[in-house]
Structure formats: C-alpha cells, structure tokens
Amino acid sequence: MGQNVIYLDKVASTNDYLRELLSNFKPLAEGTAILAEEQFQGKGQRGSTWVSEPGKNLTTSILLKPHFLSIEQQFALSASVAIAMVKWLKSKTEQPVTVKWPNDIYVDSKKVAGVLIENKLKGNKIDASIVGIGININQVNFDTPITITSLALLTNKADYVIKDLAVELFESIQQEYSNLFNQSWQPILDRYNESLFWRDQERPFLVAGEKKTGIIKAVGIDGQLQVLIDNKLHKFNIKEISHLIS
C-alpha cells in the first residue's frame, strides 16, 4: 500500500480524481494512493464537505480491492481503516483517541480526522473501494475550534512533514487490511467497538429531529449503531441519528 503514489498540487477531491482514473479504465494496482497538497472540495460523511487549509493537512485516497468481502461485510473494511488511524494517532499523542461512528476520528471531544469510503460492487462482492482520508496535521486555525483539532494543536508542534506521515499511515492501514484478509471480521469489529466514542456513556442524541438521551452499546457488522434509549435497544443507519456534541 502506498508503493504507487500519485502526487497532486491541487485537486477538487482525491476520491473523485481516483474514481475518474478508474472510470477511464486505467489499470491501477491495489494500494495506489492519491496524495494532494490542496483539496478544495473534499467530501465527508452525510454529504458534508471537508475544509482543509492548503498545504497543511494530509488528504489522500487509496484504492483497495477487497474481493474477499461480501456486500454485507463492507463495514468491516471501514472498521479496519478506522482502527489503523486510531493506532497511528495513538503513536503521536497520549490523549485518548476514539472512533465516532461511523469513522470520524476524535481526540477527547474534538475531530481530528475523517474517512469516506466509496465502494464499487460486482455481484454480491466488493469489486473496488476508494478510501478517502483527511487528517488535520499542521493547521491551527479553524472556524469551529471547539469541535475540531489537529496534530499540531495536540502536540504543540507545527512542522510535520506530510509525506513522511503518509508513509506511516499507509503502513498502519496495510497491517490492518492484512489482518482483515487473514482473520474473520469479528476480531476487527471487536477492536473497533473498544475504541468507540461515547460507548457505555449516557449522552444526548438527535433522533428524527427530537433530542433523546441514550447509551451507545456497539456497532454491528451491518454498520448500524446500537443505542439504548428508554431501556430499549435501537439500531440506526447513517443520517438516522446524530451525536449532540456541545
């Protein structure tokens, strides 16, 4: 992974760029990565955008071909990438690193990274996956500093070499991807749940426009968030529930 890296000075979206290469039937090896100096139309979960200051952050998309996963198991790939990012960030900071479902990475109560995986299906298998990753590295000024942070702010250091960090990240993802290939998905999911943001804590959520208090219990292989509300376990898909982070 990361043996073939395409470096770009400026691009709208690394995911879109990689998808366009694939749509043009360009033969690309698994593990090929796009690494952009500036991404000005990055995409996040729920149709949101990922705003990144040029030259300050790690924005990349990686091509994977997890043919060994069925459609029903696709969340296992998301969990593997999230685990890899948590492990990598834990090597950089002593502060608690967690995964906010489905795959935003948080340090304490602030977002430091996000993942957007787009899958191309073939039959009941995953033919190709574009793993888009954005990590705040050297940026220190944000529109919403209460809920967003960066590696620089966490470590009081603002001169990280993005390309060097990308190599480390690719290695971490490669290791977890290999674990997913060689193991069943259950140990991967267990480790994901061990790092789950707000797990077993009574917290506020927004459900169908209404504020609810609930306790996150786990995420299943179907990717649904399991939350205990009014002593009943409910399962939610993306866009059906939101964390209310003050």
CA-based radius of gyration for the chain: 18
pTM score, whole prediction: 0.93
Q: Which residue has the tokens 């967690």?
A: 98
The number of beta carbons lying within 10 Å of the beta carbon of residue 235 is: 15
Range(s) of the chain covered by CATH 2.30.30: 202-243
Q: Find out whether 53 and 97 touch, Cβ atoms under 8 Å.
A: no
pLDDT at 145: 76
The class of domain 202-243 in CATH terms is mainly beta
pLDDT at 43: 60
Q: Which residue has the tokens 């993942």?
A: 115
HEC string for 132-145: EEEECCCCCCCCCC
Does pLDDT of 246 surpass 90?
A: no
pLDDT at 50: 55
Write out the two tokens for 242.
């939101």
Q: How far is CA 97 from CA 47, 52, 216, in A?
A: 24, 21, 17
Range(s) of the chain covered by CATH 3.30.930.10: 5-194
pLDDT at 184: 85
pLDDT at 42: 63
**Check whether domain 5-194 has CATH 3.30.930.10, yes or no:** yes
Does pLDDT of 144 surpass 60?
A: yes
pLDDT over 90 percentage in the chain: 85
Number of H helices and number of E strands within the chain?
5, 14
pLDDT at 25: 72
Residue 242 DSSP label: E
Q: Which residue has the tokens 């366009």?
A: 20
Distance of CA 42 to the CA centre of its chain: 13
Name the 3-class secondary structure at 5.
strand
Stronger pLDDT, 46 or 228, i.e. the higher one:
228
Does pLDDT of 86 surpass 80?
A: yes
Q: What is the mean pLDDT of the chain?
A: 93
**Residues in Cβ contact with 246 at an 8 Å cutoff, skipping those fewer than 6 apart:** none
